Copies of this chain bind each other. A is one copy, B any other.
Amino acid sequence: MLVGSGILGKAGGILTRLGFDTRPIMVTNARVMRLHGHALLASLENAFGPIPVIRIGDGERFKSHATLAKIYEGLFRAGADRCSWIIALGGGVVGDTAGFAAATFMRGIPYVGVPTTLLAQVDSSVGGKVGINIERGKNLIGAFHQPRAVLSDTETLRTLPARELTSGLFEVVKCGAIRSEPLLGYLEKKLAAILDCESSAIAHVSREAVRIKAEVVAGDERDVHARMHLNFGHTVGHALEAATAYRRFKHGEAVAWGMIAAAEFACDVSGLRTDEARRLVRLIQRIEKLPSLRGIPAERVWRALQRDKKSSGGRIRMVLLPRLGSAEVCDGLDPARIRRFLANFLARGCPH
């Protein structure tokens, strides 16, 4: 993984030095192509010759089987074979979908990630999780397929819409909440600079988040033990996304609501102090005014939560915080209690 400013324009040389010697096929979307595609293409074509480009839709709802089929078809049209490789330029949707296409095309071809959102840089680029959503829920179909390389150009973050940037910041908040109270402190202190996309501040939190993720994931490719801590905020977060058909919230926003819910729940269950919970909630609220929970039926969220892959053998599992900067997996939580909590949480809209 390479992080830095202006990496897009050097990608061809970097990848050549990493041993790639055939042309890749690029997967991206129209918006990212317009903003950053030509810089990357110029560099790649200089190294590898003409690069076919597959454009997919923009937005979480395009992380679908239809998009996957479109990528396969694009690969065939481009004459791809098992010696081909994919370069995915874009956010998490592009990375996860193109990565899953790479995992399953002719039983697996390599891919390289060029994440252009903060979320994708800190989230999708570690761990090798790739996959698509289906109606039943998020990421229910997928694989583990490590990218051969990840090139993160911090300059691309400057072109992000505000909600994309803050959505990524919630992922950073999550990393702080489960592993590093000082990271939360840094976010609190430098929030204005970060929201202004000041390069050194963004680079610091981005690197910290990736470091924490990589540390958690190291030696633990599947979802067991420590790795589950990265699911903090995801149990309720995924359920909110599914219950709103992935249209109301960005992923990070749903996780932010999930962290608020988990923090409040943790005050009862895992002994998180009320003032600590309040501190986390305040930081989240300073980052962004989250889309409202209004009108989301509690029953629908509850059903989505039960279906979600976090539940194991029928029991409910959640990641909770005993204190800020430390996480624990709570298994076998009482379903009835969580159901009641959810109904209250949704009815109130926002706690604290």
The residues of A with any CB-CB pair to B shorter than 8 Å are 22, 65, 69, 72, 76, 79, 81-83, 103-108, 129, 131, 134, 136, 139-144, 223, 307, 309, 311-314
Q: Give bound CA distance, A223 to B106, whole Å.
A: 11
In addition to A65-B69, A107-B139, 16 A-B residue pairs with Cβ atoms within 8 Å of each other are A65-B65, A72-B136, A72-B141, A76-B136, A81-B309, A81-B311, A81-B312, A82-B309, A82-B312, A83-B312, A83-B313, A103-B143, A104-B141, A104-B142, A105-B141, A107-B143
Copies in the complex: 2
Nearest chain B CB to A253 CB, angstrom units? 24
Q: Is the interface of A mostly helix, strand, loop or mixed?
A: mixed
Q: Is the CB of A72 within 8 A of B134?
A: yes
Q: What are the residues of chain B within 8 A of A103 when measuring CB–CB?
A: 143
Q: Give bound CA distance, A312 to B80, whole Å.
A: 9
Q: What are the residues of chain B within 8 A of A134 when measuring CB–CB?
A: 72
Most B C-beta atoms less than 10 A away, residue of A76, A103, A104, A139: A104
Q: Is the CB of A106 within 8 A of B313?
A: no
Nearest chain B CB to A331 CB, angstrom units? 12
Question: CB-nearest residue of chain B relative to A137?
Answer: B76
Q: Give bound CA distance, A81 to B223, whole Å.
A: 13
Nearest chain B CB to A197 CB, angstrom units? 33
Q: Is the CB of A144 within 8 A of B107?
A: yes
Nearest 7 A/B pairs, CB to CB: A107-B142, A106-B309, A83-B313, A104-B141, A76-B136, A82-B309, A83-B312
Q: Give bound CA distance, A104 to B309, whole Å.
A: 13
Q: Is the CB of B82 within 8 A of A223?
A: yes
Q: What are the residues of chain B within 8 A of A69 when measuring CB–CB?
A: 65
Nearest chain B CB to A134 CB, angstrom units? 7
Question: CB-nearest residue of chain B relative to A73?
Answer: B136
Q: Is the CB of A81 within 8 A of B313?
A: yes
Q: What are the residues of chain B within 8 A of A104 when measuring CB–CB?
A: 104, 131, 141-143
Q: Give bound CA distance, A136 to B312, whole Å.
A: 38
Q: What are the residues of chain B within 8 A of A105 when measuring CB–CB?
A: 140-141
Question: CB-nearest residue of chain B relative to A101?
Answer: B141
Q: Is the CB of B311 within 8 A of A106?
A: no
Q: Give bound CA distance, A140 to B71, whole Å.
A: 13
Q: What are the residues of chain B within 8 A of A140 when measuring CB–CB?
A: 72, 105-106
25 A–B contacts from the bound complex (CB under 8 Å)? A65-B65, A65-B69, A72-B136, A76-B136, A81-B312, A81-B313, A81-B314, A82-B223, A82-B312, A83-B313, A103-B143, A104-B104, A104-B141, A104-B142, A104-B143, A105-B140, A105-B141, A106-B140, A106-B141, A106-B142, A107-B131, A107-B142, A107-B143, A107-B144, A143-B143
